Amino acid sequence: MDPLEIAAGLEAHGITDRTARRFRHRDVFSLAEELYARTPHGEAPAAARTRVPAGPCALLRLGCALLPGALAFGAAAAVPVWAGPVAVAVTVAALVWPGRAAGGRWPWAAHLLAAAVTGWAAHRYGTALALGLALAAAPGHLVAAAFAARAGARLAGSRALEEFADRVRPLLLASVAVFAAAAAGAAALAAAPLTAAVPLALLLFLTRLLLRHGAHRGPVAAALALALVPVPAAASAAAAGLLVHAVLALSRASAHARPRPPTRKEKQKMTGQPTNQGATR
């Protein structure tokens, strides 16, 4: 759709400025400009330019984001014995719903580790902590959606990969700060200890961001595993380390590029159907 989208795709496939210089271009963006000029293209449809879901779909996703807190509050009021496990379950489920992770794949290891971290924290600090994390799911959804929309706008307005990275890093840090304040409010509402609730909420929020934007899962799993260490500062260290990884990963244009819909041949290949009549022989 534009040269920066092509540059993001090249970057995602490991094409660096050094590789671009082999093709007599100063950087990846210059190479993308030539590819864009050589490729036939027309006016993009309005639906393809839409970045922020609107209408019933957006309301459904917001309702799903509000559901964990409502279920956790209901469990705490009705059956206090099961309030903690219910809050843990709906908090981890909020990492998956609404929407799958990038590429349509389910990162089971990350979600199992997130469940272990949340369950271990609820066991150590009580049901109030699990309730506070469940309440933080709704502001986490809103902040993540706002970050994705604003990062997409910056992607459309940038003319180089370095320019986009410089513009999106402050946006990410501001989003983290806003969510931290919201998580502190949720913890206070649930009467949970702030020193334990806020780092864990930040860890789950960064996990959601990274998984939804297609980042590598290794650092996410390592940070979640670190949070399982029975040391009070483990969750804070894990959240800080994952924030560093998020700044590096989410400042790449390829993390925010619009996915290209599969072609007819690709759909047939994914479903196992023959691509032509000769393939059936």
- Residue 105's pLDDT is 56
Alpha carbon of 85 to those of 75, 89, 109: distances in Å?
Answer: 9, 6, 19
- At 148-206, the pLDDT tens digits run 989 988 877 777 777 888 999 999 999 999 999 999 999 998 889 999 999 999 999 99
- At 193-225, the pLDDT tens digits run 999 999 999 999 999 899 888 788 889 999 999
Please indicate whether residue 77 or residue 140 has the higher confidence score (pLDDT).
140
Q: Of 79-88, 234-243, 248-257, where does the model show the most confidence?
A: 234-243
- Residue 228's pLDDT is 92
What distance in Å separates the CA atoms of residue 5 and residue 75, rounded to the nearest whole number? 46
What distance in Å separates the CA atoms of residue 218 and residue 259, rounded to the nearest whole number? 22
Instruction: Put residue 262 in one of left, alpha, beta given phi > 0 → left and psi -120 to 50 → alpha.
Output: beta
> Which amino acid is it at 244?
V
pLDDT for residue 257 is more than 70? no
Verify that 93 and 175 share a domain, yes or no.
yes
Question: Looking at the domain assignment, is residue 161 inside a domain?
Answer: yes
- Residue 207's pLDDT is 93
pLDDT for residue 272 is more than 90? no
Verify that 38 and 63 share a domain, yes or no.
no
Q: Of 104-118, 133-147, 156-170, where does the model show the most confidence?
A: 133-147
The answer to whether residues 237 and 223 touch, using CB atoms and an 8 Å cutoff, is: no
Question: Looking at the domain assignment, is residue 156 inside a domain?
Answer: yes
Verify that 97 and 36 share a domain, yes or no.
no
Question: Looking at the domain assignment, is residue 90 inside a domain?
Answer: yes
Instruction: Tally the C-alpha atoms within 13 A of residue 52's C-alpha that lie toward its C-beta.
Output: 17
| pLDDT tier at 91, thresholds 50, 70, 90 | confident
Q: Of 55-69, 78-92, 98-112, 116-130, where does the model show the most confidence?
A: 116-130
Picking from 3-12, 60-69, 106-115, which range would have the lowest pLDDT averaged per residue? 60-69
pTM: predicted TM-score of the whole model, two decimal places: 0.72
Alpha carbon of 44 to those of 1, 47, 50, 151: distances in Å?
Answer: 7, 8, 10, 20
Question: Looking at the domain assignment, is residue 272 inside a domain?
Answer: no
Question: Looking at the domain assignment, is residue 181 inside a domain?
Answer: yes
> Which amino acid is it at 280?
T
Give DSSP secondary structure letters for 87-100. HHHHHHHHHHSSSP
Domain count, the chain: 2
Please indicate whether residue 81 or residue 47 has the higher confidence score (pLDDT).
81
Verify that 162 and 236 share a domain, yes or no.
yes
User: How much is the mean pLDDT over the chain?
Assistant: 77
Verify that 102 and 196 share a domain, yes or no.
yes
Give the residue numbers spanning the domain of 40: 3-48
What distance in Å separates the CA atoms of residue 150 and residue 209, rounded to the nearest whole number? 14
Question: Looking at the domain assignment, is residue 268 inside a domain?
Answer: no
pLDDT for residue 94 is more than 80? no
260 burial type by CB count under 10 A (0-12 exposed, 13-18 middle, 19+ buried) = exposed
- At 44-60, the pLDDT tens digits run 444 344 344 455 666 65
Question: Looking at the domain assignment, is residue 171 inside a domain?
Answer: yes
Verify that 41 and 106 share a domain, yes or no.
no
Verify that 98 and 39 share a domain, yes or no.
no
What distance in Å separates the CA atoms of residue 90 and residue 122, rounded to the nearest whole number? 13
Cβ neighbors of 120 (< 8 A, separation 6 or more) are: 228
